[in-house]
Structure 1
Amino acid sequence: MPGHYGIIRSGMPDSIPEKEPLPLRVLITGVSGFVGRHLASILAQETDWELWGWARRSWTGIPNRLQLARVDLRDPEAVRQGLALVRPEGIIHLAAQSDVAESWKDPWGTFETNVRGTLNLLESIRALGLQPRVLIVTSNEVYGLIRPEEVPVREDHPFRPANPYGISKAAQDWLAALYATAYAMPIIRARPFNHIGPGQDPRFVVPSFARQIAWIEAGLQDPVLWVGNLEARRDFTDVRDVARAYRLLLERGEPGEVYNIGSGRPRSIREVLELLLSMTQVNVRVEVDPQRIRPVEIPISAADTARIRERLGWEPRIPLEQSLRDVLEEWRARARAEQRRPGR
C-alpha cells in the first residue's frame, strides 16, 4: 500500500521519562535478513542504543529492545513517513536483493530494490533535513572481474561488475558517494566480501552444501551432493565478525570514506567443500549441476583490509572452520526436525 508504514511489534516503552538522556537512536534497514538479524542481536546485547528496524516481514527471536516496522524502501512515501517517525541518529542500510543468481533471473527487481530503495532513503533524509550518520552497505561484487595479480583488492580498485547484482551495488555505492559530497551528508560506505554463518539462505554456497550433507546424513536425500564451480576462490568472513565491523563503522568510520570488510584470504569453493565433508562420516558423490554455473564467473576475490584494520582496529575473530561447523550444526538440527515432521 503506497505510503503505508506498519508497526509489526514494539519492544520500546510508550514514552521516555523527561530529562533522561536518549541513547543513540539507530535504524537498521533489512533487519530481518541474514546480516540484519545478527546485527540487531549484537547491538541489543552490547549497546544501550535505541534500536529500530525496518523489514518486509517479521521473524522469530526479535530482540526485546528492537522496535520493528514493515517498510518497503521502494515506496518513497513509506520511507519518508518512517524516517519522520523514527528521526534516527544513525542508519545501517542493509536492505537489498543480495543473491547474484536471482539478479540474473530478475535484473530489474534487483535494481529496483537496491538502487531505488537507496535513493528513496537518501532523498527522504535530505527532504526531512536530518543528519544521521549513515552506513551504506554495498558489496565486493562492485569490483567484479579481478585478475589474480590484483588480489588483494584495495578500496581504490576500479569497478568492473560482472553481474546485474554487482552493477546495482556499484550504482548504490556511487549514489552514496554523490550524496556525501553534494549534500555534506555523513555517509560511510562498507564493501563486505563473502560472509557466512548460521541463518543464511541455502541459495548461497555454504548453507547449500551444509543442507545437502545434513539431509544425506539423515537419510532425507540420496548421497549425491550437487555443486557449481568449485574452482572459484572467495574471501569468506563470519557474519558475526561482519556485524561487529558495521557497528565500528557507524560509530567511528570517517564520513565520505569507504572500507573493505573481509579476511584477506581467498579460499576455493573446493576447499570449503572438503572442510565440510571432513566434518561428516557419510560418503557422498559430488556432481556438477549446470544450473548452478553462473553466466559470468569471477575466478578470484579477496579484500585488502588495511584501512579498517589500521584505522578502527577491526580484525575477524572467528575462523572459517568454526563458521562452517556452526552452519552444518544448524542444518543438522533442521534435518532432525524434518525427520520428526508428521507425515514423513
Structure 2
Amino acid sequence: MSQLPDQRFWSGKRVFLTGHTGFKGTWARIWLSRLGAEVTGYALSPATTPTLHALAGTSGMAAETIADIRSGSALADALRVCDPDIILHMAAQSLVRRSYLEPVDTFDVNVMGTIRLLEAARPLEALKAILVVTTDKVYSNDESGRHFVETDRLGGHDPYSGSKAAAEIATATYRDSFFRPKGVHVGTARGGNVLGGGDFSEDRLVPDIVRAAIAGQILDIRNPLATRPWQHVLDCLNGYFLFCEALYNGTASVEALNFGPSPDEAQIPVGFVASSVQAAMGLGQTWQDTSAVDKPREMHALGLDPGEAYRCLSWRAKLSQTEAIDWAARWYDQWRRGEDALSLVAGQIDAFTKGS
C-alpha cells in the first residue's frame, strides 16, 4: 500500500500553487483544500472551453491571481500576500507538439517562468519547501525501452523536453546558491503521463477521445504503438504531496523523484488506451492510425523507475494503469451524462483515499 497525505500536516498550511487553472492544478487545489490547506493559486486563464477549473468553481481557495508566470512583479505581490509555507510549481507550457510551433515561448515559460518564481520566492520568511514539477521527458531518451532512474542524464530532443530539463538545472542552481543556505528545501518531481477526468487540453489523447465522441468524429491517433508510463492524476498528486511533506520536514533524502507506474506492469501502448477509454465510455472503436503522416518526432518508448519514491516516501501507484484508464473514462462518461464535475472529482478523491 502507498502512503497518503497527512491531513494533520496540511491543515492550515499556506500553499502557493502555480498552474491552478490547469487540469492537474485543479485536482491539486481541490484535494489540498479538502486536506485543510489554505491554497493561493497563480496561473493564466484556461486556454480551452470547457475547463475543469470553471466547471468545478473556486470555492475553498484562499485567493487566486490570474497572471503570467513570467511577470516578476505580479509574482512577487502574490507571494508577499500569501506568505506561503510551501510552493508547488505546476505552471508550464506542457504540450510537445506546441513546443515545435512555439519553441521560444516554451523555453521562456518553462525555464524563465521557473526562474522568476524562484527569484520572487527568495525574500520569503515563512517558506520551508518548494517543489518544482517537471516531466518524465527530462531524460535523454535513447529509445532503449529501459525505465529511467533519477541519476540518468537529462536532455531533450524536442523543445518541451529540453525546456523541462533546463528547468531542472535552473532549479538545482537556485537551490544550491540561495535556498539551501536559508534552510529552504527544494525538490523536483518527474511525473509520468497523467490520466484523469476533466482534462480538456488540446492535443492530448483522452481529451481528444472525448471531443471526438461528443462531435461524433473519428479520432486520429499519431503513434498508436508508442508506450508511456500511464498513471492516474491522484497517484501523481499523492506523490507530489508526500514529497512536499518530506521537503518541509527536512526528511527528504533526495532532491528529485520519479512518479509513475511500477516497471513490473506491462507497458501499455497509446492505441490500447484509446480503445479502452472508448469501450469504458460505451463507444465503439472509432480511431484511425495516422502514424504515416509527416509530423514532428515523438519518442516511441518511455518509462520511469519510481523505486526511489517508494524507498524515500513509501509511495507507489495505488491504481494500475488499466484502473487509471477506467477511472478517467468513467469520470468523462458520467460528466457527459450530466453529473457535476466537482462532485465527480470529490468522489474519486474519497474513493482513492479510502482505498476503494
Residue pairs, 1:187-336, within 5 angstroms: 187-200=186-199, 201-212=201-212, 214-215=213-214, 220-222=215-217, 224-253=218-247, 254=252, 257-265=255-263, 266-279=267-280, 282-284=283-285, 286-289=287-290, 294-332=295-333
- For residue 280 of structure 2, give the secondary structure of its aligned residue in structure 1: coil
Kindly provide the CA deviation profile for residues 60-84 of structure 1, in whole angstroms up to 9, marking residues without a partner as x: 4224244222232111111111112
How far apart in 2 are the matches of 1:51 and 1:279? 34
Return the offset for 1:156: 0.6
Kindly provide the CA deviation profile for residues 237-290 of structure 1, in whole angstroms up to 9, marking residues without a partner as x: 100111111111111142761000100343211221232344366544542336
8 Å contact kept, 2:43–2:69: no
Worse overlay, 154-163 or 289-298: 289-298
- Structure 1 length normalisation: TM-score? 0.82
Return the offset for 1:196: 0.9
Kindly provide the CA deviation profile for residues 30-60 of structure 1, in whole angstroms up to 9, marking residues without a partner as x: 11111111111111112x3222111222634
- Are residues 27 and 292 of structure 1, via their aligned partners in 2, closer, same or farther at CA, if it must alter by over 3 Å? farther
- Structure 2 length normalisation: TM-score? 0.79
- For residue 262 of structure 2, give the secondary structure of its aligned residue in structure 1: coil
How far apart in 1 are the matches of 2:253 and 2:103? 30
- For residue 188 of structure 1, give the secondary structure of its aligned residue in structure 2: strand
Q: What is the root-mean-square deviation of aligned Cα atoms in Å?
A: 2.4
How far apart in 1 are the matches of 2:33 and 2:124? 27
Kindly provide the CA deviation profile for residues 282-305 of structure 1, in whole angstroms up to 9, marking residues without a partner as x: 544542336986422212111111
How far apart in 1 are the matches of 2:177 and 2:129? 16
How far apart in 1 are the matches of 2:126 and 2:254? 17
**Residue segments in structure 2 that go unaligned for 5+ positions in a row:** 1-10, 46-52, 339-356
Q: Looking at both structures, which has the greater relative contact order when contacts are Cα pairs under 8 Å and sequence separation is at least 6?
A: 2
Aligned to 2:160: 165
- Are residues 245 and 283 of structure 1, via their aligned partners in 2, closer, same or farther at CA, if it must alter by over 3 Å? closer
User: 1:88 is aligned with what amino acid?
Assistant: P
- Are residues 267 and 131 of structure 1, via their aligned partners in 2, closer, same or farther at CA, if it must alter by over 3 Å? same
8 Å contact kept, 2:93–2:109: yes
Aligned to 2:172: 177
How far apart in 1 are the matches of 2:185 and 2:204? 33
How far apart in 2 are the matches of 1:78 and 1:255? 33
How far apart in 2 are the matches of 1:251 and 1:283? 44
Identity %: 26
How far apart in 1 are the matches of 2:126 and 2:68? 20
Kindly provide the CA deviation profile for residues 77-117 of structure 1, in whole angstroms up to 9, marking residues without a partner as x: 11111112211110000010101111111111111111111
How far apart in 1 are the matches of 2:333 and 2:223? 25
Kindly provide the CA deviation profile for residues 167-221 of structure 1, in whole angstroms up to 9, marking residues without a partner as x: 1101111011111111224211101111110111252112223443x33xxxx42
**How many positions carry a matched residue from both structures?**
308
Residue pairs, 1:54-203, within 5 angstroms: 54-57=42-45, 59=54, 60-127=56-123, 131-148=127-144, 151-183=146-178, 184=180, 185-200=184-199, 201-203=201-203
Kindly provide the CA deviation profile for residues 304-336 of structure 1, in whole angstroms up to 9, marking residues without a partner as x: 111111111111112333332343344445655
**Residue segments in structure 1 that go unaligned for 5+ positions in a row:** 1-21, 338-344
8 Å contact kept, 2:205–2:274: no
User: 1:205 is aligned with what amino acid?
Assistant: L
- For residue 297 of structure 2, give the secondary structure of its aligned residue in structure 1: coil
How far apart in 2 are the matches of 1:104 and 1:334? 33
Aligned to 1:15: none
How far apart in 2 are the matches of 1:322 and 1:202? 24
8 Å contact kept, 1:181–1:256: no
Return the offset for 1:136: 0.5
How far apart in 2 are the matches of 1:327 and 1:207? 10
How far apart in 1 are the matches of 2:284 and 2:241? 42
Which structure has the larger Rg? 1
